[in-house]
Structure 1
Amino acid sequence: MINSTPQALTIAGSDSDGSAGMQADLHTFFARNVYGASVITACVAGNSYGIHASVPMPTDFIDQEFQDLTDDYNIKASKTGMLADSELIKNVVKNYQKGNFGPLVVDPVIMTKHGSQLLEESAFDTLRTDLLPIAMVITPNFYESQKIAEMTIKTDADTVTAAHKMQAMGAKNVIAKGAHSDSSQTVVRDYVLLESGEAFWLSEPYHDTDRVNGTGDSLSACITAELAKGTPMKTAIQIAKQFVNTAIGNPIQVGHKFGPINHWAAQDAKIDLTPATED
């Protein structure tokens, strides 16, 4: 049957070194047995040492990308990645709402896991007012949760408060990811707040490694892939958490400094991709 294969869409920047952005999303879609389509929002030149140049795509080109997918494919779920400024966010929101691209997973690429800012300051209001209200789920890292919720997070109670603030902005489901920059920690805990009101923490072992590029991209992409297959939201989140932890815990040696996670690891038949620990 035409278009019967599950299809997912990544709306993101292209990273030349393949470790993050659109490439990490497509790696993840493939690993989860979903066909991946893409709308390129920017092209980034970089390697394991860092990002050295980036070029945004013209909005009329992005319009055409969306239109071509609408004309031919059957996208069951979508995700956003790097949307660097207000104009780009508004353009993506316009095109997403015009088409039928399934539930939207928003990976708010605002801050790196080390706290460096990636989104223009002037675009924060647009992200909150235009993008969050159409998000089926939002997946901010620790620093992004603080930025979006406009608060400092020091305790579990603070994380809960931040998640509720983000849900009040329109995101139906929220995954407020825990910090993972302390080498003395033994677990990484993420707080999940579902549209139904159910809430819980997910825990996985902490891995002290610099092979973590693409972690956030892959988590949101895995959720997107599962939603494209019809997996319920809670289960999709649980699978994604363990998928990424498995990829981090079995590193590959690519590049000299901050390397990519290992998407192959979670495809190993001996690895159990049952839901992550809930506490």
Structure 2
Amino acid sequence: METALTIAGSDSSGGAGIQADLKTFSALKVYGMSVITAVTAQNTTGVRSIATIPTNIIQDQMEAVLEDIPVGAVKIGMLSSSHVIKTVVSTLVNVKATNIVLDPVMVSKSGHHLLEYEAVQTLKEDLIPIATIVTPNLPEAEAILGRKILCEEDMKEACQQLNELGPKYVLLKGGHLEGDPVDVLYDGTEFHHFYQERILTKNTHGTGCTLSSAIAAHLAKGNSVVDSVHLAKEYITGAIQHSISIGQGHGPTHHFHQLW
């Protein structure tokens, strides 16, 4: 049985965060485990409040899993502070964790800041360098790099700048640009472009969490990074096409669209 571990925040509405990650792992036939870094009170209209889990509890959760169960891949989502980031990094480095997928969650779809401003530097210096692949959207990449990204050529330049921070691969998601979206994958040498038609739906809650956890699941199953991204893109596209219209805001994607 392949396994994957998600280190992220909890979403009380079930569409993003830990809940989305575990649903994705299950849908892709990987045994999922979790380390909860924060508890959020949120629904489809936005985030109401956040409580960060104490770092000693985060470390205990990680060590409890890592000391007992082999972990094929690690997906990292919401880490709200520098202290949390440093705790996660030191624990993963100590166990020589591999297949680390970093989704640098910074701001929720409703505009709620999920990462403290001063923690961005810690993210750049400590966490990004240990990632196998980092998967920012355009606003996240802009916050990390301190520059605007306005077109596909800008995306390629941003991928190169992000790669210089140390990850093996960068997947820059272009959904915030107008027109049909393109995602750009860069391995330090070669670019891979993933084009698709824009799916016209407001139900996109948790898409970033779902894509990154799908990449982790496919890495855990032994696929290459390029193949894992390709397969994960197919999965998230189907999940958005069959998204669920619940709630008064942005509904969730359908994690089990292939099974239902």
**Normalization by structure 1: what TM-score?**
0.89
Displacement after TM superposition at 1:155 (Å): 1.9
* Alignment correspondent of 1:232: 224
* Alignment correspondent of 2:193: 201
One-letter identity of the residue aligned with 1:179: G
Q: Residue 71 of structure 1 is aligned with which of 64, 67, 75? A: 67
* Alignment correspondent of 2:241: 249
Displacement after TM superposition at 1:100 (Å): 4.5
Q: Residue 41 of structure 1 is aligned with which of 37, 42, 50? A: 37
Unaligned runs of 5+ in 1: 269-279
Deviations 1:120-170 (A, max 9, x none): 110111000000110100000011111112211112111111000000000
Displacement after TM superposition at 1:113 (Å): 5.2
SS in 2 for 1:72: coil
- Supply the RMSD in Å over aligned alpha carbons: 1.5
Deviations 1:97-125 (A, max 9, x none): 12243221000001345766432110111
Counterpart mapping for 1:117-128 below 5 A: 117-128=113-124
Unaligned runs of 5+ in 2: none
One-letter identity of the residue aligned with 2:238: T
Counterpart mapping for 1:177-196 below 5 A: 177-180=173-176, 182=178, 185=179, 187-195=180-188
SS in 1 for 2:127: helix
Q: Residue 165 of structure 1 is aligned with which of 153, 161, 165? A: 161
* Alignment correspondent of 1:265: 257
SS in 2 for 1:259: coil
* Alignment correspondent of 1:108: 104
One-letter identity of the residue aligned with 2:126: D
Q: Is the 8 A contact 1:113 1:142 kept in 2?
A: no
- Note closer, same or farther for the CA distance 1:90–1:225 as it changes in structure 2 (3 Å cut): same
Deviations 1:182-231 (A, max 9, x none): 4xx3x211011025x22121012211211101100011000000010101
Displacement after TM superposition at 1:180 (Å): 3.6
SS in 2 for 1:164: helix
Displacement after TM superposition at 1:41 (Å): 0.3
**Normalization by structure 2: what TM-score?**
0.95
In 2, Cα distance between equivalents of 1:254 and 1:24: 15
Displacement after TM superposition at 1:253 (Å): 2.2
- Note closer, same or farther for the CA distance 1:171–1:9 as it changes in structure 2 (3 Å cut): same
Displacement after TM superposition at 1:66 (Å): 1.2
One-letter identity of the residue aligned with 1:102: T
* Equivalenced residues, count: 260
